[in-house]
Structure 1
């Protein structure tokens, strides 16, 4: 079945997604520990500015400010009953920006992890997780989002629950996981295992891939793992703008716009057809990524040595698919940067 996302991808071949949400909002004055989703109602002009920054930089799609708009996360702020509302308003603001962009731009409804550990390791039941994902997805759909966008997931159980939630809402979706521990997610999923899981789902995503994690080098190694598994669905690459460093009391990402431009071209060569940035990625990075993708023809997949020489060394020797690396370990979801 077609949807606005598949139609645009079919037309253009490669889509440029957006950059960071948290990094940009912190630069606007969001305080650490405050839920960004409250700004959908309290500071809508800032959220519109966030969206427009990506659009004006050349993005084909941007994610809504709804990463933590689920009952489990909002409960930390005594706002669990606002999940649907905050998701809906995030999408409505996005719809306003997309519809006045002067070109076709897609609104992707961001859905992050619940922050809870699912059974049998943790206490969150499958049924309750599905209910929470359904509520968020329904709010996004009500607000006019073109597609749901699951991101920064570590546990396969949570990914499957989200797939059911999107199905109940009747919303097409994409879904990425975060690979940040020797080529695996923190719950032990490898790139190869993710491809198998995604293609076995009753409600398969429109596209799948990786976001966040450590550096861009590690993310591209994961994308190569996706491509090697020869799945049928488009691949998403949404890597961080370099490596985070603590400088004068603030987290700073060292990836320059020029480096992210090279990353974007290499991501496409690795097999990704939807390419964006995650933590630390600002509109200036996106401008350079857009220009590089538009001016550079697709080439051969780079070797691991080429990736490391251009983008920096890998954080581990193993990509997780060789049997090396960590086993599953409990983790609480973290906010997308």
Structure 2
């Protein structure tokens, strides 16, 4: 089925997605614990600037400021009755920036986890999750989003619920999982098994893959697993810019523009069609990534040892993972898109 994202991939081959939302909004004054989605109404000029900066840095895809836009997330801020309004406004802001760009820019409606556990582990029913996601996606669609961008997922059931919601809302969709727990998601999904998650849905994702996690080496490891299992898949990687560390009172990420440029080269050769940055990724990183993408010369499919040699050690992959070779492995936790 034709859609703007597939059409742009067909035209350009590999696309550059944007960088971090939360990290950059914190730099603009967002306080820890505040809902970024409220800024769509309270500080729309700051959200506009973020999107514009990403476009100026070379992004082909910008994600709306709506990661926590379900009623379940917004209820933590007393905004559960504003789902449609806040998501519609998020998409409108991004749409206005995209429409002014000198090239085609895709507006991807960011849809993050509800923060709730589904039955039997928690109280949220599958049907309730579908309903909540559909409410959000309908707002994003009304605001002009091109695609529902389901991201940072852990539970296969929650991915299915969000996919069913997108289908019910009449939106094409993508999804990405965060493989941040010994090479799997927190709920045990492996990269190579991601293709079966929505296999029975009547509409399949435009693209799928991985985001967030614990840095470039680990997300590239997940990418190699995915492209090895399905070489023809349209794959997304949107990795964190290194590892967060405290510098005084601030959290900084260890990834340099040079490292993120190398990550782009490796990702293209490993089979990714959409490459972006997650937590910690600034516009300076994106500019280097754009340059790398535009001047990439096709190389051989990298091995894990190639990844480690070029962008550093794995932080989170299980020591007994098949195919890990002699790559050095360390263990670390991870969390949501920043």
- Give the TM bin, normalised by the shorter chain: over 0.9
How large is the RMSD of aligned CA atoms in angstroms? Answer: 1.7
Aligned residue for 1:184, secondary structure, equals coil
Deviation (angstroms), 1:199: 3.4
- Provide TM-score, normalisation by structure 2: 0.94
Does 2:99 match 1:93? no
Runs of 4+ in 1 over 6 A off after TM superposition: none
- Structure 2, gaps ≥5 residues long: 325-333
Shift in alpha-carbon separation, 1:323–1:134, aligned structure 2, 3 A: farther
Structural mapping, 1:109-258, within 5 Å? 109-230=109-230, 232-258=232-258
- Provide TM-score, normalisation by structure 1: 0.94
Query: Does the CA contact (< 8 Å) of 2:214 and 2:316 recur in 1?
Result: no
Structural mapping, 1:1-337, within 5 Å? 1-230=1-230, 232-318=232-318, 322=322, 335-337=336-338
Query: Does the CA contact (< 8 Å) of 1:223 and 1:272 recur in 2?
Result: yes
Ranked by relative contact order (alpha carbons within 8 Å, sequence separation 6 or more), the top structure is 1
Deviation (angstroms), 1:182: 1.0
Query: Does the CA contact (< 8 Å) of 1:23 and 1:280 recur in 2?
Result: yes
Encode CA deviations 1:276-311: one digit per residue, 9 max, x unaligned: 000000011010000011112221111111111211
Q: 2:30 & 2:236 partners in 1: Cα distance?
A: 28
Aligned residue for 2:24, secondary structure, equals helix
Query: Does the CA contact (< 8 Å) of 1:195 and 1:231 recur in 2?
Result: no
Aligned residue for 2:49, secondary structure, equals helix
Q: 1:201 & 1:298 partners in 2: Cα distance?
A: 34
- Structure 1, gaps ≥5 residues long: 325-332
Aligned residue for 1:62, secondary structure, equals strand
Query: Does the CA contact (< 8 Å) of 1:64 and 1:94 recur in 2?
Result: yes
Deviation (angstroms), 1:60: 0.5
Deviation (angstroms), 1:312: 1.1
